[in-house]
Amino acid sequence: MAEKLWEGIPRSEIPWYPTINLDLCNGCQSCIDTCPGDVYDWDEALGHPIVARPENCVVYCMGCAKGCPEEAITFPNKDEIVALVKQLRVKYAVS
């Protein structure tokens, strides 16, 4: 299987994906319902969502976090990721 690319950069090198604070999560599943990338699965045994496919997360998308009523979803610092992407563009000669 070919490696996923995002704008010519290997997606695996861009650490943009959600983190769920399980202490805040109420299990409403809004993250699963709003995610366009099929990032989440539901863990029946634990009764909460899990980040099952982090590389499916659309870089810079934060729709699931915005839709979470408990503010239980966070993302890395966007400015740091933007800086990293600039470095990776140079590394992979992507304009």
pLDDT of residue 91: 95
Please give the domain boundaries of the chain with CATH numbers for all domains: 18-91 (3.30.70.20)
Block residue for tokens 């966007």: 78
**Section 72-86 average pLDDT:** 98
Measured CA to CA, the distance from residue 11 to residue 65 in angstroms comes to: 20
pLDDT over threshold 90, residue 95: no
Block residue for tokens 């933007």: 82
**Section 39-67 average pLDDT:** 97
pLDDT over threshold 80, residue 1: no
**Section 64-81 average pLDDT:** 97
**Section 4-23 average pLDDT:** 97
Q: Give the pLDDT band (50/70/90) at residue 13.
A: very high
Contact 30, 67 (CB under 8 A): yes
**Based on the number of CB atoms within 10 Å of its own CB, is 71 exposed (0-12), middle (13-18) or buried (19 or more)?**
exposed
